[in-house]
């Protein structure tokens, strides 16, 4: 969660610097802008992996007290963790070395210079992996509810709604950039919106005690014992 917050802060700083340069009104490339764009790739593309890993870590701790069926679910969860880890490792390497070992080419002002920020191939790859990770995680979340590991509640409903909004945000972001809407500048607020929604989803379980401030929160073990 801390890494997620730092990634969000870094993305906000990069977008603010971009805005201060007047890029939204009068786009003109420069070495400074290219360096900011290159840095923002890490804060968004790689940074979006941290909320997902936080959510998976929460599920791992939540399933630990469950016995036989919990062991089966943890094996599935292990596969999802491996997939998400490999996906964001691929994104990290793609953002860093797509243009070759010399990353300084990223801020070259030569007309034919490679720039991962504007290249379509990394964008499609990162979008596909990011969306796939969301689908894997929320499918697992739905499965937990169906199997009775998580009881339906208002909090669970809100979590799924925010999760759906997060997925919609990344799809809208993709459309604004690749369908010729003429609204390419929306990528900046949509990126930080997706980050904010993803962090909120992970933080929701920790906010539950605020709804019952005078009630001692139950441990997972106590919840399991109460069910039996």
Q: Which residue has the higher pLDDT, 135 or 68?
A: 135
Instruction: Give CA–CA dist 75/80, Å, rounded.
Output: 9
State the DSSP string of 135-160. HHHHHHHHHHHHTTSS---HHHHHHH
Q: Which residues of 72-111 are buried (b: 16+ CB within 10 A; e: fewer)?
A: ebbeebeebbeebeebbeebeebbbebbeeeeeebbeeee
State the DSSP string of 9-28. HHHHHHHHHHHHTTTTTS--
pLDDT score for 226: 40
Q: In the predicted model, is pLDDT for residue 219 greater than 70?
A: no
Q: If DSSP codes are grouped into helix, strand and coil, which group holds residue 99?
A: coil
Give the containing element (helix H, strand E) for 209: none
Residue spans of the domains in the chain: they are 2-227
pLDDT confidence tier of residue 60, bands split at 50, 70 and 90: confident
pLDDT digits (tens, 9 = 90+) for 114-149: 888 878 888 899 999 999 999 999 999 998 888 888
pLDDT confidence tier of residue 102, bands split at 50, 70 and 90: confident
> Any idea which of 69-83, 119-133, 168-182, 213-227 has the lowest mean pLDDT?
213-227
Going by C-alpha positions, the residue among 81, 82, 119 that lies closest to residue 97 is: 119
Instruction: Give CA–CA dist 23/187, Å, rounded.
Output: 13
Q: Which residue has the higher pLDDT, 70 or 4?
A: 4
Q: In the predicted model, is pLDDT for residue 185 greater than 80?
A: no
Q: In the predicted model, is pLDDT for residue 89 greater than 90?
A: yes
Residue 8 burial (CB count, 10 A): 22
pTM, to two decimals: 0.82
Mean pLDDT on 62-85: 83
Q: Which residue has the higher pLDDT, 52 or 176?
A: 52
Q: What is the dihedral of CA 216, 220, 224, 227, to 10 degrees?
A: 40
pLDDT score for 223: 42
Q: Which residue has the higher pLDDT, 211 or 55?
A: 55
pLDDT digits (tens, 9 = 90+) for 20-54: 887 766 667 778 888 888 888 899 999 999 999 99
pLDDT digits (tens, 9 = 90+) for 195-210: 999 999 988 876 666 6
pLDDT mean across residues, the chain: 82
């Amino acid at each position: 969660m801390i890494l997620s917050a730092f990634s969000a802060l870094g993305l906000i700083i990069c977008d603010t610097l971009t805005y201060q340069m007047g890029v939204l009104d009068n786009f003109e490339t420069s070495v400074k802008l290219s360096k900011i764009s290159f840095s923002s790739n890490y804060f968004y593309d790689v940074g979006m992996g941290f909320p997902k890993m936080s959510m998976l870590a929460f599920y791992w701790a939540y399933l630990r007290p469950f016995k036989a069926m919990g062991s089966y679910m943890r094996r599935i969860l292990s596969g999802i963790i491996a997939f998400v880890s490999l996906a964001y490792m691929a994104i990290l390497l793609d953002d860093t070395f797509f243009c070759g070992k010399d990353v300084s080419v990223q801020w070259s002002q030569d007309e034919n210079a490679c720039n991962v920020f504007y290249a379509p191939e990394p964008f499609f790859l990162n979008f596909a992996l990011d969306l796939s990770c969301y689908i894997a995680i929320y499918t697992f979340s739905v499965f937990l509810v169906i199997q009775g590991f998580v009881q339906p509640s208002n909090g669970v409903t809100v979590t799924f709604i925010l999760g759906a909004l997060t997925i919609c945000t990344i799809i809208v972001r993709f459309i604004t950039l690749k369908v010729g809407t003429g609204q390419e500048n929306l990528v900046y607020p949509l990126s930080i919106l997706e980050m904010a929604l993803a962090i909120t989803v992970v933080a929701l379980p920790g906010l539950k005690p605020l709804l019952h401030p005078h009630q001692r929160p139950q441990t997972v073990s106590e919840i399991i014992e109460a069910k039996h």
